[in-house]
Amino acid sequence: MTPPIDAHVRLDTHPTHPSAVQAILTGSQARVALMALEAADWSVAATNVLVLARIDHEEPYWAKDAAKHLIAEDIAVEITPRLREAMDEEWTWANYPMPWCTRNELREVSNQAQKIHDDIRHGQLLIHAHAHVGHTTVAVGTYLSSGGKSVYLHGEDHLRQVADTFDSPAQALLAFEKVHAAEMRPGPAPLTDTERAAIEARSVFDVTTARSAPSRPEPETVPVYLADAGDHDALLDSFLDEHGEFERWRTWSDETTHAIHESQTLRIERVHEAPAHETAWTVAAYETPVSDRMWVLTATGATPAPVLQELLNHLADGDGWDTVVGAPVDEKTVTTATQPLPEAGWNHTVDGRWIRWTSPAGDAGVQFDAFAAQHPNHTLATWTVWAGPSPDHPTWTVTASSHTPSSLLANLSENLAHATGTRPAQATARERKATLGTTPPAIPAAKADPAVSHTR
């Protein structure tokens, strides 16, 4: 007789999400239960902790189904009383548009909507465009599997369904544009409140230490260029929530988010898993939606959150990316861009082709390359902002091409010269020096990023 699997699964309601379910695994063979739950689309939220968060709010039903399968595999399952009560509760959607359906039929419809949502989330269904129609959303996309079909989607959340299919993406897009040309927008629609809540429920947390974690000391206030990098993804989400003139589009691999201004002349790219010293942000501006790029700015993954926040705020002003194409970068341009630095006591030096401004403590600087300014098509950066032990071993960098607007650069200089931020107080000076000193790369050259560069 085969011995039972040494794994125990405790199913309980989620600590913050009203309908999500969490599973806590124990035992020497907990990995077996983990693999079974992952196959049923549960998400790992911490070590041996999984979460089931759906957009149809049917988590208790599917948790009960998962429990049956685990028990059938001789895995011990414990269900808390409050979750068992939720499993036994029968309910229906208010004002559901299909009142003739039975409860099981409603569940099947919402499960099909859940599958569409999961296919998009996992990058199996690529959304080409969307449109808001009345009180709902329509979209067109293509399944990326071999011979994948193109589909027309209608509705949101638990009401989304495949309304039509097409033999090719081109055929699908033409049909979609014919009906929704005026409202049509690139990429998937912004996340709904239900989708955001599901993402938050799946976020990493630690149920074993959440209540007993010691209070952290108050963060210390430092010059903005020494501030903590913070959460860049949350920063972008907040920016897009506040500025509806930017459309969000996330690549099917889920690695990159593009934010495109409604004028189609400003594009922001955010690479989510970029290492601290590599390019995580690229901003590119265009004179018209079909013209060549006017200027480009990049920022690495360790760039302080307040620096990025100020940059995004400037761009959101509406005219923060205007520039004169072909205008020479002269002494007046450089002076305008850097005026706040010498006024704040930053040291000014000239070394051949390089003009530099360095903070009084020598832990940050701005560098202008006169040679690169006269060769704007070159891959060298005209402007480089850095902070860290030295310009050769920076903690973070921002680079900009020659025609980057003076107003944007002046705003950045003003922020560096006078603004402050915070960082964790527990890091001693010795620890910070060790951390900064191990950052390996030198200042990167500004390169054209194919994901943001315009293609005719």
pLDDT tens figures, 416-428: 999 999 987 644 3
349, two tokens: 């030096």
What pLDDT does 250 receive? 73
pLDDT digits (tens, 9 = 90+) for 151-177: 999 999 988 999 999 999 999 999 999
Rounded to an integer, what distance in angstroms lies between the CA atom of residue 83 and that of residue 74? 21
pLDDT tens-digit series, residues 84-124: 988 887 666 555 666 777 778 888 888 999 999 999 988 89
User: 192: exposed, middle or buried (C-beta count within 10 Å: 0-12, 13-18, 19+)?
Assistant: middle
Q: 281 with 261: CB under 8 angstroms?
A: no
Contact, 376 vs 446, CB < 8 A? no
Res 51 pLDDT > 90: yes
Reply yes or no on whether the pLDDT at 211 is more than 50.
no
**Sequence-separated (6 or more) residues with CB below 8 Å from residue 71:** 77
Short-list 180, 153, 147, CA closest to 165: 153
CA-closest candidate to residue 364, choices 314, 421, 313: 421
Count of beta carbons in the 10 Å neighbourhood of residue 9: 25
Answer yes or no: is pLDDT of 29 > 80: yes
The phi, psi pair for 306, rounded to 5°, reads -65, -30
Dihedral sign from CA coordinates of 329, 370, 341, 225: positive
Residue 188, token pair as written in the block: 């998937």
Neighbouring C-beta atoms of residue 318, cutoff 10 Å: 12
Model's pTM, two decimal places? 0.50
DSSP 8-state class, residue 16: S
User: What is the DSSP code string of 308-377?
Assistant: HHHHHHHHTTSSTT---TT----HHHHHHHHTHHHHTT-EEEEETTEEEEE-TTSSEEEEEEHHHHH-TT
Q: Max alpha carbon distance in the chain (Å)?
A: 86
- 161 by Cβ neighbours in 10 Å (0-12 / 13-18 / 19+) ranks as middle
Q: Does the structure show a pLDDT above 90 at 1?
A: no
Q: Which two tokens stand for residue 122?
A: 């996992």
Q: What is the mean pLDDT of the chain?
A: 84
Q: How would residue 204 be classed by pLDDT, with cut points 50, 70 and 90?
A: low
Look up tokens 């790992």; give the residue. 44
pLDDT at 225: 96
Measured CA to CA, the distance from residue 315 to residue 295 in angstroms comes to: 13
Query: Which tokens sit at 240?
Result: 């897009």
Over residues 69-95, mean pLDDT: 84
List the chain domain ranges: 8-88, 103-189, 220-437
Q: Residues 298-351: pLDDT tens digits?
A: 999 999 999 999 999 999 886 556 655 556 688 888 999 999 999 999 999 999
| Enclosing H/E stretch for 249 | strand 246-250
DSSP string, 49-115: EEEE--SSS-HHHHHHHHHHHHHHTT-EEEE-HHHHHHHH-----TT-S-TTS-HHHHHHHHHHHHH
pLDDT given at position 69: 94
pLDDT value of position 318: 63
* Sheet strand arrangement including 266-271: 246-250, 256-261, 266-271, 279-286, 293-300, 396-400, 383-387, 364-369, 354-358, 347-351
The DSSP code for 4 is P
Checking if the pLDDT of 210 tops 70, the result is no
For 396, other C-beta atoms within 10 Å of its C-beta total 22
Helices 406-418, 331-338: axis angle to 10 degrees equals 40
Tens of pLDDT, residue by residue over 309-318, are 999 999 988 6
Name the pLDDT band for 81 (thresholds 50, 70, 90): very high
